[in-house]
Amino acid sequence: MEDVSFGPDESRVEHVLRAFAAFERVGVAYSGGVDSATLLALAARALGPDRVVAVLGVSPSLAADERTSAHDVAAFIGVPVVEVRTHEGDNPAYQRNGPDRCFHCKHELFTRIDDTVVAAHRLDAVAYGENADDALRPDRPGSRAATEHEVLRPLADAGLDKAAVRRVARVLELPCAGKPAAPCLASRIPHFEAVSPEKLAQVEAAESGLRALGFADCRVRHHGEVARLELLPDDIARATAPGLRADVEAVVRGAGFRFVTVDLRGIQSGAFTLPLVAAARG
């Protein structure tokens, strides 16, 4: 691979490359988002694409366009994708949708990787894209699942935070370098309201319709018959303007919601989980 300069992130990137170089073959738990894609690209840089496998968990919580995009980005990097079907939706603890939902999801993914991918692809290690900012957040129970399954987190260990990961992605010219964060569809359902394939399909259809209208970064929070839209600040006014308001209402109602509302606070990461974590900590 051609030499490139990572500027202020050079030493941290070298830390990641050295971590991968300790292994013969590595799997990366991969979603196609900027964190896991950057990790995948660095693994390929350290070992060569033929010694790396991207492992994509597929379930109703993964939107169809995210699945397609993930394959496109992996193809750009030159690493093969192995899809594993995950069944977290069959787990009553996941369905209950407590603040630990992500633990059950990641536990299912890492279990499937252990059971079906590691031996088949002769993997010495599995890594996932937790970054240094994620490692400090209290609303990331999936991190506990990674620890239990001895999954590596090279980005976080190297001190690469979200901003640094995006800088590295731009240097590597990854197609997803500017891609908005895309948490799984289950994150749109309030905690302690059951997660179901039907609700996930509603959210996916509504968000897909909004993106087709030009709202590239959006969340559709599922409140029964009510869809609460979280949009970028500049998009809030656009969504409620007379020229587009009817189209917004049509695509969201067409997904099965009866009422459509726009949250004036905009997009809120951890909107459902953080308040519960803060309350538990007292």
- How confident is the model over 250-266, as pLDDT tens digits? 999 999 999 999 999 99
Domain 185-274 belongs to what topology? Alpha-Beta Plaits (3.30.70)
Which has more confidence, 282 or 55? 55
Instruction: Give percent of the chain above pLDDT 70.
Output: 94
CA-based radius of gyration for the chain? 19
pLDDT at 275: 56
At 181, is the pLDDT very low, low, confident or very high (cuts 50, 70, 90)? Answer: confident
Q: Which residues contact 251 (CB under 8 A, 6 or more apart)?
A: 206, 209, 210, 212, 213
| Mean pLDDT value of segment 157-185 | 95
| Boundaries of every domain in the chain | 7-171, 185-274
Residue 233 has pLDDT above 70, yes or no: yes
Active-site choice (102, 105, 176, 184): 184
Partnered with residue 227 across adjacent β-strands are 222, 260
Which pLDDT score is estimated for 277?
47
Burial of 247 (0-12, 13-18, 19+ CB in 10 A): middle
- Whether the pTM exceeds 0.75: the reply is yes
Over the stretch 127-144, which tens digit does the pLDDT of each residue have?
999 999 988 877 677 889
pLDDT tens for 208-229 read 999 999 999 999 999 999 999 9
CATH of 7-171, one of 3.40.50.620, 1.10.3810.10, 3.20.20.10, 3.40.50.720: 3.40.50.620
184 classed as catalytic: yes
The pLDDT mean for the chain works out to: 93
